Structure 1
Amino acid sequence: MSMARVSSGLAYPERFYAAASYAGFDGSPNSAAKGLTSKFSNDSALLLYALYQQATVGPCNIPKPSSWSPVEQSKWKSWQGLGNMAATEAMRLFVKILEEEDPGWYSRASNFVAEAVVDVPMNHNSKFEPVMENGTLSPETKTISTENGSLMETEDKDVVSEGLGSVAVYDQWIAPPISGQRPKARYEHGAAIVQDKMYIYGGNHNGRYLNDLHVLDLRSWTWSKVEAKAGAESPNPVTLTPCAGHSLISWENKLLSIAGHTKDPSETIQVKVFDLQTCSWSTLKTYGKPPVSRGGQSVTLVGSSLVIFGGQDAKRSLLNDLHILDLETMTWDEVDAVGVPPSPRSDHAAAVHAERYLLIFGGGSHATCFNDLHVLDLQTMEWSRPTQQGEIPTARAGHAGVTVGENWFIVGGGDNKSGVSETVVLNMSTLVWSVVTSVQGRVPLASEGLSLAVSSYGGEDVLVSFGGYNGRYNSEVHVLKPSHKSTLPSKMIETPIPDSVSAVHNVTNATRDVESESEGGQEGKIREIVMDNVDSELSKSKGAQSTEPLIATLKAEKEELESSLSNEKLQSIQLKQELTEAESRNTDLYKELQSVRGQLAAEQSRCFKLEVDVAELRQKLQTMEALQKELELLQRQKAASEQAALNAKQKQSSGGVWGWLAGNPSPNQKTDDA
């Protein structure tokens, strides 16, 4: 994986002051001490102190403290090491460090939005305009209640018309004010964003497949229906086949609808094209051998190619095959990758990182759901299953995901029992999971088959969700502005915070190797400069306090043993994780085996019944053949008896003439004589 990238423009003044208040930096003389001893490790607290001073006071122009205290010396060195860094950059890095130490701080904090507005100086030209309420400054907020839960909506009256620009809260799902005719509630639809407009196509509603196309203007939050027509190359206007479980991809001012379940499925995957200029549908003509038709697959745009993985075909057989459609030559190619691929599945999520790595997460089979992560190197075409770190999500299927930079956001899904309430994010460089936020109750965001898209406004990205099924079909829209724009640190190694500040040197040395691998850019350099200054001061302090070389030797040996023990613990944790994953895979395979065995037993029972029926029919057929032969014999005997009677009658009638000639009287004559 590539090194971590540092994104700019993460923090704005109002978020910085909310973060500073949460961290304990409230502007009072003792705020720095509070920051050093409350929520964070010593090195992070020193860095937060330096960035806070740089953002609120400016470059360090005060003389070096004459006090012998290593704390004061370290604080001055940390601040002085930042040089002439701009205040806005210091604010951004302050929020960034706080996000690393406590990723969910904003969602867990209370009333920080109001506090941020109160504390923001007016010379920052903040776009977060406060309003007067009962003589105090506070932002205008509104809460929208949903079924068995609630979602917070923060709305500024002056910027509602700006669409995505009205989203003033980070890491919280918000229900924007929607107008226009909403699309019919649905799930397993396709969604794509083109130029601040989100298009919704198809889906499933009450068991019926849909083929309508709707568009949501993300500037005005207005829905409208797109009246589409058949393509010009079609000889007759044809109504598009309703479908669900398909994928909608934006490509060159067009929408591509790939695969999907239909009432009368075709043999192979169909690719439909919607031209946004002519508002017409057509079928894409492709070459090569297309994949078998399916639904619930993943389709990922990588450069000018579509990568299709898995799904479920029309016969309900799960798939794990891999195909690529080159959009320049319109040619299909079936890929035979090396390594162990993901097990057959559908309704999973896929993403591409660095235009090279295809990531597959979750999905489901007929019997179980998954939370495994697989990576395909698109250059070597080799599958691998890396170790996940952080707060690994639970098993799920029917979830949706989008990427923002090197972060992959996953929303919704279900596990055959309930909907998933957490919104999680994976840093694709470090493979560290974290929870962004969580919703309560049966809400649309905890649904299966919902869609998730990403749009940008003013340089910031916003996630947009629509629809889903969680016991009922939904048509609601929710948005979230993520603050996770750069790498998140690994939580696999946690070093306890020492009681004395004199141990900061040991903590820094124990954690620097991990930090150097997960951080890059300007922030990493700043952290290194500040911590080097801290190390220098503490080394001097220790040198003055050391009395015997033996103590230093013992400390060095202790550090070496602790480092070795830490490595052994890490390896043990990794082995335990691998063992847990292997056991999980074994459990999943056993469930699949039991399911297949059950199906096989049912088929065997059905086969036995059919064999019994066939034997009975054969016996009846043999009886019928015997009866047929007996009937034919009786018919022949009857015919022979009838023929004999006829012959006798003829002889009797002809014998009267010859008898008269011979002098024998006829029967009538005998009667007359008598």
Structure 2
Amino acid sequence: MAMARASSGLAYPERFYAAASYVGFDGSPNSSSKALTSKFANDVALLLYGLYQQASSGPCKIPKPKGWSPVEQSKWASWHGLGNMASTEAMRLFVKILEEEDPGWYSRASNFVAEPVVDVEINHIPKVKPVTDNGNTSPETKTIPTENGSLLETQDKDVVLEGLGSVGVYDQWVAPPVSGQRPKARYEHGAAIIDDKMYIFGGNHNGRYLNDLQVLDLRSWTWSKVEVKSGADSLESPSPVPIPPCAGHSLIPWGGNKLLSIAGHTKDPSEAMQVKVFDLQTCTWSNLKTYGKPPVSRGGQSVTLVGTNLVIFGGQDAKRSLLNDLHILDLESLTWDEMDALGVPPSPRSDHAAAVHAERYLLIFGGGSHATCFNDLHVLDLQAMEWSRPTQQGEIPTPRAGHAGVTVGENWFIVGGGDNKSGVSETVVLNMSTLVWSVVTIVQGRVPLASEGLSLVLSSYSGQDILISFGGYNGRYNNEVNVLKPSHKSTLQSKMMETPVPDSVSAVHNATNATRDLDSEFETSQGKIREIVMDNVDSEPTRNQNKNSSENVIATLKAEKEELESSLSKENMQSLQLKEELSEAETRNRELYKELQSVRGQLAAEQSRCFKLEVDVAELRQKLQMMETLQKELELLQRQKAASEQAAMNAKQKQGSGGMWGWLAGTPPDQKTDDA
């Protein structure tokens, strides 16, 4: 079963109450469960009842009366057993369980209108005719509301003249008029670009996992479905591969003509993470045979291609446990490695975004747990294998999960996501060299771009970069395509000139090294001094008029510089002292470790000796028991022998006395016998 963040955290009060109405709750705290038991098994009905009460009324504070009927006692136990679970978590679990037990409830709910919703504040925006799953609607001009409330119309000539190369506006999302049969609306799917074609695989629709492979030709903007042939289980086994429907997986292009599907939630999850390969030439799926210990199966993880390595972080396993482990799959040796990094890693999470900068730094942003979302930024130095949490600059994004991101040069674009209340409308960009955030554009209303679980890919056509988004969930499942052409402008250039910030390398080291912090501060101060001095040189007439004030400023700056140098010198001395203490501590630690190893060796030898002694004692006890048995048998034989000898002696004596009396009577023994 999928263990994603309960089928999206967007618009959950609306979706939750629609679900509660569907299963028969009237909204009151004492709502009956007759409608529930008519639809589901008793245990599922009781769990749904408890989750509904937890979501609508909070933790159970009602005592358990002795006079309740068994049904009411079971309902109380179900509610009381949820403890202090947050109401948002109860809502998500309620909808998740309902979708697992009755996947089609959403489309059958009589009081839920599955149409685009237009906010009352922007009700002047015309509704867009929704595209049905069969995709029979014809291409049309669409409008996307922008930050200032104006409508950005996308005409055919703006987008489809020569495919990707004809997008005529910068830093704005436009909806191209696509043709062909559109894929089923979905979220938590995988997306990848190969040869000007965007491939979409799997995802979640109404609680059902999908396993179809769709392709959008970015030159003609035409959708089509890839007909998958029966493939081989692996190179060693020719049996067909059943591709289970999945969601929360990652789709990575590899080798120019292959797609890698990594991990993901499935109905019957395996214990270990699986990697499947789709060959675009043969149109077949196969299992990638790997070596080493693979990670536990999961979904909602991040998978980042760094050179020939896949870096996997976090996610949520089949038991709904959040993870923050780090694994690397070498695509050349096909070997798994679990990495132990220094520093403090990000807290366990899923549905976050990851990117790599300069083929060395792995960046992790946002994500969610069971009850909250994050907006923290973590950096992993893949050479030193050390985590850090640098300071973010600029317009720091709000907490979110289920967002998507791609990198264009040193810029990391982030789109969509949700915070358990609503979808995120801003498209933001992070300069990974300066760690400065800025907002690219803002969309208004409930549009697919303000969705959770959407995909975002980067395509280049004739040297032009284009961001392409697809799908998502924001109260309804989407299958729309939107594109954005970034302008590559640095919106914070002036701010950066006024307040220089360290580059990503310095930022990572500054987070963990106090001495380098001081070095960076000193260099920054020197940079300010140089800028001011250059300004004074360039403005020679003004400097002559204000010579005294300039000299005072320079004198003040020199004094500050001397103070910084003095402070830096003291800090360097303290750093050296700390290094010496650290070296001594490491030496003591090594000695203690050697002593510990010696004691462990002695203990192991004593344990072995003790075991041998126990074996010897057991053998001796067994021999002693045998000796006691033999002693008893010997005594018995001796008694039998003594009795036998006594009997023989008695018989001999009796025989000897009879012959004597016969001789005295004058009768020979032979004659006496004959007479007898």
* TM-score normalised over the length of structure 2: 0.55
Alignment match, 1:412:
416
Segments of 5+ residues of structure 1 without an aligned counterpart are: 1-140, 496-510, 519-526, 568-674
Alignment match, 2:439:
435
Alignment match, 1:239:
242
Question: How far does the alpha carbon of each residue in 1:208-260 deviate from its partner, in whole angstroms, 9 at most, with x for none?
Answer: 00000000001110000001123245544343100000000000020000000
| 1:276 and 2:280 are equivalent in the alignment | yes
Given that residues 430 and 490 in structure 1 are in contact (C-alpha distance below 8 angstroms), is that contact kept between their aligned partners in structure 2?
no
Mapping 1:130-279, distance limit 5 Å:
144=143, 152-155=152-155, 157=157, 160-232=160-232, 233=234, 235-252=238-255, 253-279=257-283
Counterpart residue type for residue 554 of structure 1 = N
Mapping 1:58-77, distance limit 5 Å:
none
| 1:397 and 2:401 are equivalent in the alignment | yes
Structure 2 Cα separation of the partners of residues 418 and 205 of structure 1: 19
Question: How far does the alpha carbon of each residue in 1:460-509 deviate from its partner, in whole angstroms, 9 at most, with x for none?
Answer: 211000000000000000000001266954847858xxxxxxxxxxxxxx
Cα gap change, 1:251/1:344 in structure 2, threshold over 3 Å: closer, same or farther? same
> How many residues are paired up?
399
Cα gap change, 1:550/1:408 in structure 2, threshold over 3 Å: closer, same or farther? closer
RMSD: 3.3
Counterpart residue type for residue 213 of structure 1 = L
Alignment match, 2:543:
542
| 1:470 and 2:468 are equivalent in the alignment | no
Question: How far 1:512 sits from its partner (Å)?
Answer: 14
Counterpart residue type for residue 231 of structure 1 = G
Question: How far 1:406 sits from its partner (Å)?
Answer: 0.6
Cα gap change, 1:442/1:191 in structure 2, threshold over 3 Å: closer, same or farther? same
Structure 2 Cα separation of the partners of residues 564 and 391 of structure 1: 34
Given that residues 258 and 279 in structure 2 are in contact (C-alpha distance below 8 angstroms), is that contact kept between their aligned partners in structure 1?
yes
Question: How far does the alpha carbon of each residue in 1:408-434 deviate from its partner, in whole angstroms, 9 at most, with x for none?
Answer: 000000000100000000011100000
Question: How far 1:538 sits from its partner (Å)?
Answer: 1.3
Cα gap change, 1:304/1:552 in structure 2, threshold over 3 Å: closer, same or farther? closer
Given that residues 374 and 384 in structure 1 are in contact (C-alpha distance below 8 angstroms), is that contact kept between their aligned partners in structure 2?
yes
Mapping 1:307-346, distance limit 5 Å:
307-346=311-350
Cα gap change, 1:388/1:146 in structure 2, threshold over 3 Å: closer, same or farther? closer
| Aligned match for 2:552, one of 551, 554, 564 | 554
Given that residues 147 and 441 in structure 1 are in contact (C-alpha distance below 8 angstroms), is that contact kept between their aligned partners in structure 2?
no
Cα gap change, 1:159/1:480 in structure 2, threshold over 3 Å: closer, same or farther? closer
Question: How far 1:161 sits from its partner (Å)?
Answer: 3.5
Structure 2 Cα separation of the partners of residues 379 and 554 of structure 1: 47
Given that residues 303 and 355 in structure 1 are in contact (C-alpha distance below 8 angstroms), is that contact kept between their aligned partners in structure 2?
yes
Structure 2 Cα separation of the partners of residues 464 and 206 of structure 1: 24
Question: How far 1:554 sits from its partner (Å)?
Answer: 3.4
Mapping 1:3-152, distance limit 5 Å:
144=143, 152=152
- For residue 265 of structure 1, give the secondary structure of its aligned residue in structure 2: coil
Question: How far 1:559 sits from its partner (Å)?
Answer: 6.0
Counterpart residue type for residue 144 of structure 1 = T
Given that residues 188 and 244 in structure 1 are in contact (C-alpha distance below 8 angstroms), is that contact kept between their aligned partners in structure 2?
yes
| Aligned match for 1:483, one of 476, 487, 492 | 487
Question: How far 1:166 sits from its partner (Å)?
Answer: 1.8
Question: How far 1:165 sits from its partner (Å)?
Answer: 1.3
Cα gap change, 1:167/1:539 in structure 2, threshold over 3 Å: closer, same or farther? same
Cα gap change, 1:246/1:560 in structure 2, threshold over 3 Å: closer, same or farther? same
- For residue 278 of structure 1, give the secondary structure of its aligned residue in structure 2: coil
Given that residues 156 and 176 in structure 2 are in contact (C-alpha distance below 8 angstroms), is that contact kept between their aligned partners in structure 1?
no
Structure 2 Cα separation of the partners of residues 565 and 395 of structure 1: 40
Cα gap change, 1:274/1:287 in structure 2, threshold over 3 Å: closer, same or farther? same
Given that residues 454 and 472 in structure 2 are in contact (C-alpha distance below 8 angstroms), is that contact kept between their aligned partners in structure 1?
yes
Counterpart residue type for residue 166 of structure 2 = S
Cα gap change, 1:431/1:542 in structure 2, threshold over 3 Å: closer, same or farther? same
Structure 2 Cα separation of the partners of residues 359 and 517 of structure 1: 28
Structure 2 Cα separation of the partners of residues 533 and 556 of structure 1: 12
Higher RCO (CA 8 Å, separation ≥ 6 residues): 1
Given that residues 202 and 211 in structure 1 are in contact (C-alpha distance below 8 angstroms), is that contact kept between their aligned partners in structure 2?
yes
Given that residues 379 and 389 in structure 2 are in contact (C-alpha distance below 8 angstroms), is that contact kept between their aligned partners in structure 1?
yes
Cα gap change, 1:155/1:558 in structure 2, threshold over 3 Å: closer, same or farther? farther
Structure 1 Cα separation of the partners of residues 219 and 433 of structure 2: 33
Alignment match, 1:616:
none
Structure 2 Cα separation of the partners of residues 368 and 550 of structure 1: 58
Given that residues 427 and 487 in structure 1 are in contact (C-alpha distance below 8 angstroms), is that contact kept between their aligned partners in structure 2?
no
Counterpart residue type for residue 237 of structure 1 = P
Cα gap change, 1:517/1:428 in structure 2, threshold over 3 Å: closer, same or farther? farther
- For residue 176 of structure 1, give the secondary structure of its aligned residue in structure 2: coil
| 1:461 and 2:465 are equivalent in the alignment | yes
| Aligned match for 1:365, one of 366, 369, 381 | 369
Structure 1 Cα separation of the partners of residues 394 and 497 of structure 2: 10
Structure 2 Cα separation of the partners of residues 409 and 251 of structure 1: 22
Cα gap change, 1:161/1:412 in structure 2, threshold over 3 Å: closer, same or farther? same
Structure 2 Cα separation of the partners of residues 405 and 216 of structure 1: 25
Mapping 1:261-660, distance limit 5 Å:
261-484=265-488, 488-489=492-493, 491=495, 535-543=536-544, 545-546=545-546, 550-557=548-555
Question: How far does the alpha carbon of each residue in 1:508-553 deviate from its partner, in whole angstroms, 9 at most, with x for none?
Answer: xxx99769989xxxxxxxx99xx9987544124432x35xx65444
Given that residues 187 and 478 in structure 2 are in contact (C-alpha distance below 8 angstroms), is that contact kept between their aligned partners in structure 1?
yes
Structure 1 Cα separation of the partners of residues 412 and 522 of structure 2: 26
Cα gap change, 1:142/1:231 in structure 2, threshold over 3 Å: closer, same or farther? closer
Question: How far does the alpha carbon of each residue in 1:641-665 deviate from its partner, in whole angstroms, 9 at most, with x for none?
Answer: xxxxxxxxxxxxxxxxxxxxxxxxx
